[in-house]
Structure 1
Amino acid sequence: MDRSYILKNKNNSDLLGLDYAYAYEWCNNSITSYIHHFDVSKRLINAFLSIDTMLSTDKLRFGMGKDIDNKLLKSIFETRDVKSYFFAPIFSDNVLWGWIGLEDCTSERIWEEEEISVLHTIIKSLGIRLSQTATVSKLERTIEKFNFFMSSSNQAMWEFDIETEKTNFSLNWFGILGYTNEEINNIPDFWSRIFSADDMKQIIRDFRDFVSGKVERFEGNTRIIHKKGHAISAKYSGLLKLNKNGVPKKVIGTYMDISELVEKEKQLVLSEAKYRFIAENTTDLICQHSKDGNLVYVSSLSNDVIGYDFEELIHKCPWDFIHKRDLGNIKKYYHSIVKNQQIETITFRFKKNDGSYIWLETATKVMLDSEKNIIGFQTSSRDISKRIKADKEMKAAFLKERMFNELKSNFVSIASHQFRTPLTVIYSNAELLELKINHQEKDLPNDGNVIISRIKNEVERMTELMNNILVFGKQEAKKIEKVIQPIDLNEFIETLTSTYFNKEGGAKIKVVKKGVKKTFFSDESLIVHILTNVINNAFKYSVGKPDPELIISYLKDKIEIQVVDYGLGIPKKDIPNLFTSFFRASNTNSIIGSGLGLVIVKQFTELLNGTVELKTKENFGTTIKLTFPYEHQ
């Protein structure tokens, strides 16, 4: 032959399709090589793809170049000056490995059967050799990996022949016990050297039971003695091999040095004992949660803190016990913990076993595995209900103090203004009266009466202001005591209106009664304060308008008193503040008042278990409705 070459199937599998590549080429002297000629190489590979149907079935193709029927291959042969050719597939483990091509460039060879048979046999042997090489290489890699695994895992193998009662030891025993392979083979009864007498007896009993079939497994933990004299913790196991008749032939087993693992387990047990001691003796409730949040550990303090035995809470979801108003914050807190993986603290309400809620302050720490993946959470919770209550009381005290300070400021401002005005009027009128007396004016009697009337009116205003302030002060100081007694409301209203409001020559209040009169139980003095303030306002803010009305309605289970005026009314923006101390509507600046009347009305009405409703419209008047139960509880 003048030229031989190999094309390899890169896929090396029938399932993946064929993909040929030039792998090797040899040429005789003066014969051109085409392995590096890209165009011819590519065309040759394509030509093979066109005839691989025949060759992939392990059939040969040979003949003279001029007789080839494949146009592409014939063109290549002409370029390569091929006179005769021989193509044969190479199979390795029944997989198409590649092709071999032989070319004669000097003569037109007629292939004889003996040549064809010899070439076919040689090419088949190539496939067998390839398979052997691959198998040996794979086995060497497997043995290398196995030896590496055995040495890195601190394991040593042994093989016991049941018939000869001899044991073969692997090389790794030196790494575990310090004995070389030669020392092991030269020490009679090596097993008794590395075990204590008691351990040896037990292992022999277990081994015999395993070989006889009494037990299914030969495995356990023991202690083996190092060459230097110290003991090593070891784990042993064995596998029984039977002959074709099912008779035990040998046992293959391993011994693994687990000293480090045993030590770590001891440290883990010690750490867990320390953790349990701390968890059970701290005042905080310690819990551990799975990744999905369910409880997997609860310290015994749970009964003291939340009223549940720790066994009741295992595998429960703590979210089921959290107040629904706090769940939104808890979910945000959980996502923050997962994202940041840092210790964070939150407060929330937790439902106890008796149905009541307590405030818990909880710190959460993320638990991670060796690869930094979240495997759970650890929480530490304490009852802070007393602290929350104290904080609320302190805030309420601060708020009350601030309101008191504002009240004092308003009182000083209002009182100074309200006292100054009547005192100025009284003083100026006293001077005027003195001046007229000194000059002995003729019209003194008439003018004196006018001046004296002015002084009386201002004194009455001051008296009203002082009364309201004194009453308000008593109510704020909680010094008002109720005296409940039966009241004939019709007679009471008639006396009240005639005494205080229906004066001759002035405006009068119209009284309307509805329903059948019933006895009304209440505190008469408080009712006087309530009605005088409401009726006084009705007159004060409706000067020049129709007279106010007082409507009494005896209903089935309550009594209703309405005071209606047709005066100034109240601006819409001022209505929310009407029952605030010292507040006055913006359209009453020219009318003298303390800003305490409605506050007293509301406080005293509620003290008598009643309610106050107010309806008003600016420039159209105001209606105040007071409702009281007949019987005071």
Structure 2
Amino acid sequence: MDKVLNYTERLAYLQRRITELETMSSALDALPETGKRAGFFYQVLQQVDVPIFIQDNAHRFVYANPPYYKMMGLTSEHLLGKTVRDLYNEPLASELWNQEDVILATGKSREYEAEVECQAESRRISIRKSHLLDPKTHHAYLVGVVSDITVQKRMENLREEVDRITRHDLKGQIMSLVNIPRLLRISGNLKEEQLELIQMLEDAGIQMLDMVNTSLNLYRMETGLFNYTPSQVDLVSIVYKAFYFLGNTMEQKHLSLEVKLDSEIVDCGQKFFIIGDDLLCYSIFYNLLKNACEASPSERKILIEMFNAESKLIRIHNDGVIPEEIRKTFFDKFVTSGKRYGTGLGTYSAKLMTETMGGTIDFSTSNELGTTIFLRFPNNHSHH
């Protein structure tokens, strides 16, 4: 963990140094003699404790400071006057060359990652290259700042492996815990107290399963690691699957469910497709419908309406009201009100997952009309 924190601090430091280097030309112009200016600039680069290099407009390396030589395991004889085509094999050489061409053509800084050989070892590095124009000669240069992110990437891969184990192993065990109470209930001959205990076990298992799914997906989306592969998802089946797991809550509060498609009650076998991710859709609707059941007064109806339009519109309505104090932060992380075991992740995760699929989410609430959640999803694969 310390290494990750050090990397974050180092990256912030690099960004500050880059800004200083990009603005240094004007400061150096204040020095009267060219020799003094060059000497000052050289000393600055030599003293900076991060790897830095400079290339000319022909892609040739014309300077590198000691930290760069040390990281890359090179000497000036092996680097200066060379280009990335001399130093690296294909396709990496062409990828780096093309990045440099874009910077020289646009004058805009770029940051990217590459897998390179450093001292006979494969390392993952982050490179930020900036365009620098000499005001006297009008020659263009590339100033590169490098950071070794190998440790960070290894930790990310380790986290992915832990996620995989969690998803396949832990979820399987939880599903067993969820199914056992149902089998016991079917067998009969149980007292009321025993049925209550079984129900508590089943509810706890469902909650654990939902927490595992939500935490894994949230982490991946928040860190940009989620692999979103859109496909057709039938929301009618997703909704009924979610309500199956919410059946006990609905039964205890004597709630009913009504699902409409284009203002008509959904018939058996009807489908409503959107472009999205099956697991994300289930998490979204399970959390939103769970909230609707918990917020609704007893003996009322939960209404879900789906509309085929320019975009796919879904409305989820219940007769409860969102408390005034959380309305402005309703979709924020860890916001909850009046729930004994609430985590405050339900609406936050629903918003994050909806936006990951290119959709939007909003709500309206009042004492007179209750609460309605509005979800809109695109009709095509344009969002990736």
Q: TM-score range by the shorter chain?
A: 0.3 to 0.5
Higher relative contact order (CA 8 A, sep 6+): 2
Q: Tell me which structure has the larger Cα radius of gyration.
A: 1
TM-score by length of 2: 0.46
TM-score by length of 1: 0.29
